[in-house]
Amino acid sequence: MGGENKVVAKPQAMCSLCLAFSVFVFSLTNCASVSDSHFSPPNNYLIDCGSTNKTKLKDGRIFKSDYDTTSLLSTNEDVQASVDSINIKASSSVPLSSLPLYQTARIFPEESTYTFHISKTGPLWVRLYFFPLPHSSYNLTSAVFSVQTERIVLLHDFSMRTNITLLFKEYLINVSDSKFSLKFKPKKKSFAFINAIEVVSAPDALISNSAATVPPVGESKGLFLSALQISYRVNVGGPPINPNKDTLSRNWEPDNPYNIFPEGTRNASVPAKSIRYPKDAPLIAPSSVYSTGAQMKDAQVNGPNFNLSWRMNVESNYSYLIRMHFCDIVSKSLNQLYFNVYINEMVGMSDLDLSSQTKALRTAFYKDFVLNESAITDGSITVQVGLANPQQSARNAILNGIEVMKISNAADSLDGLFSVDGKYKGPSSTRKTMKIVAGFGLAFAATALLFIAMICIRWHKRPQGWEKRNNFSSWLLPLSSSQPTSSCLFSTKSSNYGSRKSKNRISGYFPSNMIERFFPFSELQQATNNFDEQAVVGVGGFGKVYLGMLEDRTKVAIKRGNPTSEQGINEFRTELDMLSKLRHRHLVSLIGFCDENSEMILVYEYMANGPLRSHLYGSNLTHLSWKQRLEICIGAARGLHYLHTGAAQSIVHRDVKTTNILLDENFVAKVSDFGLSKAVPNKAYVSTAVKGSFGYLDPEYFRSQQLTEKSDIYSFGVVLFEVLCARPVICPTLPTERVNIADWAKQQHRRGMLHKIIDPRIADTITSNSLKKYVEAAEKCLQDQGIDRPNMGDVLRNLEYALQLQETAPSIHASEDKIADFIVFGSPDEKKEDHSRAKTSDDPNFTNFALFSQITNFQGR
């Protein structure tokens, strides 16, 4: 190597579990919606808990007895079933009018779980019936317990103490697993009970993933991820509807309790049979909802102008899904009825013309709105319809039904701020970060569980000293890709590792000409003043990085792994593996290694200017000029281009980020940290456990777990915006839409507001053409589909062009550009390669030819 060396540093951005989760994107299969009005639920579990006999309701539904359903129930206890569940029957105390379901209950002294096999995934109704029956040894009124699914908290520390009444809770949960469980979790020293349970499929078409938002007017995506709790279901202007009259066994209540201006309201109704449905939505609400409605009283005459208004109390700090049902049962001909729809005094729809929506009278129409929690200030939701224009001819407005559904919050809870694991996810902790989930519109239902399981497994297997690692993401994510192969240099078991006489093996394993030298441990001790903490210049994926001075006064970066970390050993192996075969001016070079005394030490050239990130933000280093930034991006792009194309097998870096782009004393960029890299046959992909760093991780790779070099392209796109804007890629303290730089930059670009987020220190030194080209390149990198993203060669060309455009423009602050004079443009590719060869030509071993032949051998290992 030339005498110059570098630091390898890998400080990680803050990373929490929830943050890590928020990068997960999944799409689960969706089934075609049922098109006839008789919906027979594929999953249909009806349990009358505590009952010895099955129970038939008046609506015809049959609830199974407790005895028939005990196989679904498991008690999570070592204690044997001596104090098992207790069935009680005390019909005398139950209000007469109530369902027979309330007359028996089951008591759970211990945590107990019902597990249901789900034959078809999709939305599920979960309905819970509670009534605290009297019992000789259990006072049900004082029971305190939680009810939760694998992911969603339905009830947290719930008790009926304050309100002894029949209680019915209804939830809608999109289930994507073949198992669904309901866990009853008593609080310490207490117990749980339940009178009846329904777990029943709902049609897929019932809920869509997105809805209009108020405020501001927009679209909210990600409802599939959320669980819903039905707060109100109102048949406006009509009678109550019982489960037997509803296609989906739902209850609808009349609107009288909520109508806050009944004086202005007049009922409207038509025969239910006359209601028509558009093709896709026959099951959304029964025709008896649409066939009745409320309209404006005396609005046709020249009376005062007013709104029809309904108000419902709701819990603060939740967003709500509001579904409004409309059907024009009052007009005599099309296009006569126009009105506005307001939610909490904000316009939901203006000039709603039902005729243009349905193309016919008496045809069902509904509209979903998500009302943000921030817009619920007085604990209530007010829904209004009123004249769009007081001058219009038909002075009327109509509403036929309202459904109000609570949306699970950032803790995946419908009751409080504790998630299923009991962790507090309130405002002070990770609430914001969890909101990212919603912001991204990402789904992680099923796989979140999988990952939780993985985390548990890894937790149990965690190596000693794991806490010292701050590379949490790489600890969390990889599982399967770290399998040992028979020809592995290092055993994955640290105990074996220590007993190896591995020096010889390493020397034999690596082509002798590729590794500069083997360092005795004592020499490195000396170089780092016995690994003095003062010499630490970074903490990397598997250990600390020290600045060392060799005997010949060459500065080197010395990365010392922790041999007890299995992950560390794998990363160490990969890095040694990769770097011993790769030589490029824009890749960090390995000088040597040491594996004495079961040490895992890699010695690199020292990069005097450290990681790129510290020149962008978070330090008080002088900021880089636009030209320097372009140069650096071009350098990194060259390094990556070489990785992707320089060999028979393309090598995917998998951890491209600004802390892995290091700068030497001349601000020449070099890509570092190959601990996660993986070889991928060109034009192909490999399936692998997802690894990478939060904020940079390609969502497509995440979804499919199939790695191609396009994942690096995505990460590089994130880097480009990070360089432009000089802010962290994930910044949880910012408002949700800004948290993730990739989303925010794309959004600002679409709005033509990109100039607002450019690093203000350089914003007015960038020529508009250069910026345009650069942003174009960055944006293409961030395309959702890998196939739409450019390859690194294209990115490189665009960046070079951006630099040319900057240089050919009248120079703005040329004096700031420290490296401008040693990179010559014109035929940029040629010149730069020449330059890079000049830099490394003092090392005859590392010609490209030798390198390529090494990589070709790679497959065999």
Ligand X SMILES: *[C@@H]1O[C@H](CO)[C@@H](O)[C@H](O)[C@H]1NC(C)=O
Q: Distance (Å, rounded) from C-alpha 360 to C-alpha 328?
A: 9
Using CB under 6 A as the binding rule, whether residue 161 contacts ligand X is answered as yes
Q: Distance (Å, rounded) from C-alpha 467 to C-alpha 379?
A: 44
- Residue 441 C-beta: closest distance to ligand X, Å: 10
Using CB under 6 A as the binding rule, whether residue 91 contacts ligand X is answered as no
Using CB under 6 A as the binding rule, whether residue 372 contacts ligand X is answered as yes
**Residues of this chain, 261-300, that bind ligand X according to CB under 6 A:** 262, 265, 267
Using CB under 6 A as the binding rule, whether residue 484 contacts ligand X is answered as no
Q: Distance (Å, rounded) from C-alpha 774 to C-alpha 801?
A: 8
Which of 703, 729, 734 is closest to 716 using CA atoms?
A: 729
**Which residues, including other chains, have CB under 8 Å from residue 306's CB and lie 6 or more apart?**
261, 264, 296, 386
Using CB under 6 A as the binding rule, whether residue 384 contacts ligand X is answered as yes
DSSP notation for 740-799: BHHHHHHHHHHTT-GGGGS-TTTGGGS-HHHHHHHHHHHHHHT-SSGGGSPPHHHHHHHH
Using CB under 6 A as the binding rule, whether residue 433 contacts ligand X is answered as no
From 312-320, 523-531, 571-579, 721-729, span contacting ligand X (CB under 6 A): 312-320
Residue 236 or residue 545: which is nearer to ligand X going by CB? 236
Number of residues that bind ligand X (CB under 6 A): 48
**Residues of this chain, 42-81, that bind ligand X according to CB under 6 A:** 52-53
Q: Distance (Å, rounded) from C-alpha 725 to C-alpha 766?
A: 12
Using CB under 6 A as the binding rule, whether residue 542 contacts ligand X is answered as no
Using CB under 6 A as the binding rule, whether residue 238 contacts ligand X is answered as yes
From 186-194, 432-440, 783-791, 818-826, span contacting ligand X (CB under 6 A): 432-440
Using CB under 6 A as the binding rule, whether residue 389 contacts ligand X is answered as no
**Residues of this chain, 717-746, that bind ligand X according to CB under 6 A:** 735-736
3-state secondary structure 107-160: EECCCEEEEEECCCCEEEEEEEEECCCCCCCCCHHHCCEEEECCCCEEEEEECC
Per the DSSP assignment, residues forming a β-bridge with 611 are 662
When binding is defined by CB under 6 A, the residue of 198, 204, 631, 700 that contacts ligand X is: 204
Using CB under 6 A as the binding rule, whether residue 207 contacts ligand X is answered as yes
Query: What is the residue type of 104?
Result: T
Q: Distance (Å, rounded) from C-alpha 246 to C-alpha 244?
A: 6
Using CB under 6 A as the binding rule, whether residue 176 contacts ligand X is answered as yes
- Residue 32 C-beta: closest distance to ligand X, Å: 10
- Residue 485 C-beta: closest distance to ligand X, Å: 35
Using CB under 6 A as the binding rule, whether residue 438 contacts ligand X is answered as yes
When binding is defined by CB under 6 A, the residue of 443, 726, 781, 796 that contacts ligand X is: 443
What are the helix and strand counts (H, E) for the chain? 21, 41
Residue 1 or residue 314: which is nearer to ligand X going by CB? 314
**Contact assessment for residue 415 and residue 154, using Cβ atoms and an 8 Å cutoff:** yes
SS3 485: coil
**Residues of this chain, 184-203, that bind ligand X according to CB under 6 A:** none
When binding is defined by CB under 6 A, the residue of 106, 435, 653, 678 that contacts ligand X is: 435
- Residue 73 C-beta: closest distance to ligand X, Å: 19
Per the DSSP assignment, residues forming a β-bridge with 125 are 172, 200
**Contact assessment for residue 664 and residue 608, using Cβ atoms and an 8 Å cutoff:** yes
**Residues of this chain, 216-235, that bind ligand X according to CB under 6 A:** 220, 224
- Residue 166 C-beta: closest distance to ligand X, Å: 8
Active site residue 577: no
- Cβ atoms within 10 Å of 764's Cβ, excluding its own: 11
Using CB under 6 A as the binding rule, whether residue 30 contacts ligand X is answered as yes
When binding is defined by CB under 6 A, the residue of 130, 342, 418, 667 that contacts ligand X is: 342
SS3 832: helix
Angle formed at CA 661 by CA 656 and CA 666, multiple of 5 degrees:
160
Q: Distance (Å, rounded) from C-alpha 443 to C-alpha 223?
A: 9
Q: Quote the tokens at residue 798.
A: 């665009």
From 76-84, 107-115, 136-144, 762-770, span contacting ligand X (CB under 6 A): 136-144
**Which residues, including other chains, have CB under 8 Å from residue 754's CB and lie 6 or more apart?**
745, 748, 771, 775
Query: What is the residue type of 337?
Result: L
The secondary structure of the chain in percent helix, strand, coil, rounded to multiples of 5, reads 30, 25, 45
DSSP notation for 157-226: EE--TT--S-EEEEEEEEE-SSEEEEEEEEPTT--EEESEEEEEE--GGGS-SEEEEETTTEEEE-GGGS
Residue 377 or residue 512: which is nearer to ligand X going by CB? 377
- Residue 686 C-beta: closest distance to ligand X, Å: 25
- Residue 697 C-beta: closest distance to ligand X, Å: 19
Residue 266 or residue 623: which is nearer to ligand X going by CB? 266
- Residue 384 C-beta: closest distance to ligand X, Å: 5
**Which residues, including other chains, have CB under 8 Å from residue 509's CB and lie 6 or more apart?**
489
- Residue 744 C-beta: closest distance to ligand X, Å: 13
Q: Distance (Å, rounded) from C-alpha 150 to C-alpha 112?
A: 13
Intra-chain end-to-end CA distance of the chain, in Å: 26
Using CB under 6 A as the binding rule, whether residue 244 contacts ligand X is answered as no
Q: Distance (Å, rounded) from C-alpha 22 to C-alpha 14?
A: 13
When binding is defined by CB under 6 A, the residue of 119, 139, 178, 768 that contacts ligand X is: 139
Based on C-alpha coordinates, what's the Rg of the chain?
A: 33
Residue 373 or residue 843: which is nearer to ligand X going by CB? 373
- Residue 617 C-beta: closest distance to ligand X, Å: 23
From 87-95, 158-166, 510-518, 702-710, span contacting ligand X (CB under 6 A): 158-166
- Residue 90 C-beta: closest distance to ligand X, Å: 12
The active-site residue out of 246, 655, 664, 759 is 655
**Residues of this chain, 116-135, that bind ligand X according to CB under 6 A:** 122-123
From 6-14, 88-96, 237-245, 597-605, span contacting ligand X (CB under 6 A): 237-245
Using CB under 6 A as the binding rule, whether residue 386 contacts ligand X is answered as yes
**Contact assessment for residue 251 and residue 240, using Cβ atoms and an 8 Å cutoff:** yes
Using CB under 6 A as the binding rule, whether residue 104 contacts ligand X is answered as no
When binding is defined by CB under 6 A, the residue of 135, 276, 281, 306 that contacts ligand X is: 306
Residue 341 or residue 662: which is nearer to ligand X going by CB? 341
When binding is defined by CB under 6 A, the residue of 254, 441, 463, 511 that contacts ligand X is: 254
Residue 67 or residue 459: which is nearer to ligand X going by CB? 67
- Residue 355 C-beta: closest distance to ligand X, Å: 22
From 55-63, 159-167, 350-358, 698-706, span contacting ligand X (CB under 6 A): 159-167
Query: What is the residue type of 295?
Result: Q
Q: Distance (Å, rounded) from C-alpha 716 to C-alpha 595?
A: 33
- Residue 183 C-beta: closest distance to ligand X, Å: 21
Q: Would you name the residues annotated as active-site residues?
A: 655
Contact residues for ligand X (CB under 6 A)? Answer: 26-28, 30, 52-53, 122-123, 139, 141-142, 161, 163, 165, 174, 176, 204, 207, 220, 224, 237-239, 254, 256, 262, 265, 267, 305-307, 316-317, 319, 342, 345, 372, 374, 384, 386, 427, 435, 438-439, 443, 445, 735-736
